Amino acid sequence: MTYDETLASYQRLLEANPGKALQIGDDCYAVLINGTLSGAYATLDGAVDLGTIFNFDPEGWDAECECWDGDVSGMQTAFCVAAPAFVDLPPPPARKSTPNQGENNARVRRQCDVEQSQGNSVWDLRDCWQDECVSREP
């Protein structure tokens, strides 16, 4: 499989399994947050660490072997798609309530909506939970 085919397979599998992360290595997962495919590292106990979200990078793909640089072979990469292993995404982090939290959350959500309407991709729900809206150019 090519880089693009691999990412398309991750996306398809995750769309069919909402609320789940796809294990793609010993310490890595593919996740779908707000419709955006990203990678995330595992915690020491093997759970998905949403604090480590990253974008997939074609520089990390070995086109000759058709696998990620950290994989032993294309078979290892393809196996994650052919025999997918899913884990539950963790819940949003708990937060202390503040007097204006509801109003502030609404403001942040509106800002996220504005970012998306302008063609930017809000890439991580965590950012909206933390009262800010981080985006990146598509």
Tokens (6 digits) for 128: 């909206």
Q: Roughly how many angstroms between the first and final C-alpha of the chain, as a whole number?
A: 24
Tell me the HSE value of 53 on the side-chain side, using a 13 A CA sphere. Answer: 19
pTM: 0.66
pLDDT digits (tens, 9 = 90+) for 82-132: 999 999 998 866 655 555 555 555 555 666 666 666 665 554 444 444 444
User: Contact, 29 vs 85, CB < 8 A?
Assistant: no
- For the chain, domain boundaries: 3-88, 101-136
User: Other C-beta atoms within 10 Å of 65: how many?
Assistant: 15
For residue 82, the one-letter residue type is A
